[in-house]
Amino acid sequence: MELKEAVAIVTGAKEGIGRGIAEALVAEGCRVTITGRHEKELRAAAEAIGADWIVADVGSEADAERTVADVIAKHGHLDILVNNAGYGLFKPLVDTTLEELEALYRTNVFGPFLMARAAAKHFMEQNRGEMINIASTSALKGSATRTAYGSSKFALRGMTECWRDELRRYNVRVMLVNPSEVMTEFAAKAGSPREPSDKKLRPKEIADAIIGALKVDSRGFVPEFSVFATNPF
How many C-beta neighbours within 10 Å does residue 127 have?
10
Residue 215 neighbours by CB under 8 Å, 6+ apart:
1, 3
CA separation for the pair 23, 231 (Å, rounded): 26
Given a cut of 80, whether residue 23 has pLDDT beyond it is: yes
Q: State residue 189's pLDDT score.
A: 82
Work out the mean pLDDT of the chain and round it to a whole number.
96
CATH 3.40.630.10 fits 7-222, yes or no: no
Q: Is the pLDDT of residue 10 over 90?
A: yes
Judged against a pLDDT cut of 80, whether residue 206 lies above it is answered with yes
Query: Per-residue pLDDT averaged across 181-210, rounded?
Result: 88
Give the pLDDT mean for 90-115. Answer: 98
What three-state secondary structure class fits 96?
coil
The yes-or-no verdict on residue 186 having pLDDT over 90 is: no
Q: Which residue of the set 87, 105, 149, 170 is catalytic?
A: 149
Confidence of residue 195 (pLDDT cuts 50, 70, 90): confident
Contact 13, 22 (CB under 8 A): yes
CA–CA dist 223, 211 (Å, integer):
14
Q: How much is the pLDDT for 192?
A: 72
Give me the pLDDT at residue 168, please: 98
Instruction: With a cut of 80, say whether residue 149 has pLDDT above it.
Output: yes
Is 170 marked active-site?
A: no
Mean pLDDT of the 150-159 span: 98
Residue 57 has pLDDT above 90, yes or no: yes
DSSP letters along 131-190, please?
EEEE--GGGTS--TTBHHHHHHHHHHHHHHHHHHHHHGGGTEEEEEEEE--BSSSHHHHT
Q: How far apart are CA 185 and CA 106, in angstroms?
A: 20
pLDDT value of position 60: 98
Burial 65-88 (b: 16+ CB within 10 A, else e): bebbeebbeebeebbbbbbbbbeb
pLDDT band at 167 (very low <50, low <70, confident <90, very high): very high
The pLDDT > 90 percentage for the chain reads 94
SS3 of residue 113 by DSSP: helix
The CA distance from 210 to 177, in Å, is 8
Nearest one of 115, 221, 209 to 171, comparing CA atoms: 221
At 194, the pLDDT band (50, 70, 90 cuts) reads: confident
Residue 155 contacts residue 89 (beta carbons within 8 Å): no
